[in-house]
Amino acid sequence: MDQIIRSKIEQEFAPQELILLNESQMHSGPATNSHFNLTLVSTSFEGKRAVARHQMVYKALAEELAGEVHAIALHLFTLEEWEKAGNASKASPNCHGGE
């Protein structure tokens, strides 16, 4: 699943930075490809608000989100925003039902 997500994101957004973490182990249940954390830096986000950026990613990953992927944390930046943020991705907290 990691490679599918990565491939679709690369094709759709031509990212300057792409960090994809599989965080399924942080959540309860047996699924190994259910929870992801995506940090994405792309010129595609120029002039777009956060909601529009999220919608763009949801559209690109619609098939995965309708199936095996239960949740994906999105951290979406323009190159300028990414540089101002210190080039740092954000970790997700543990799930209340996780280990």
Assess if residue 7 is contained within a domain: yes
Look up the CATH number of the domain holding residue 78: 3.30.300.90
Assess if residue 94 is contained within a domain: no
* pLDDT digits 0-9 by tens, 79-94: 999 999 887 776 655 5
**Domain span at 57:** 2-84
Assess if residue 39 is contained within a domain: yes
| Structural element, H or E, at residue 51 | helix 50-60
Assess if residue 91 is contained within a domain: no
* 99 pLDDT higher than 50: no
Give 97's contacts (C-beta < 8 A, 6+ positions apart).
27, 28, 29
β-pairing, 17-22 vs 71-77, is unpaired
Give the span between the Cα atoms of 3 and 39, in whole angstroms: 15
* pLDDT digits 0-9 by tens, 24-57: 766 556 557 788 999 999 999 999 999 999 999 9
Give the span between the Cα atoms of 40 and 82, in whole angstroms: 9
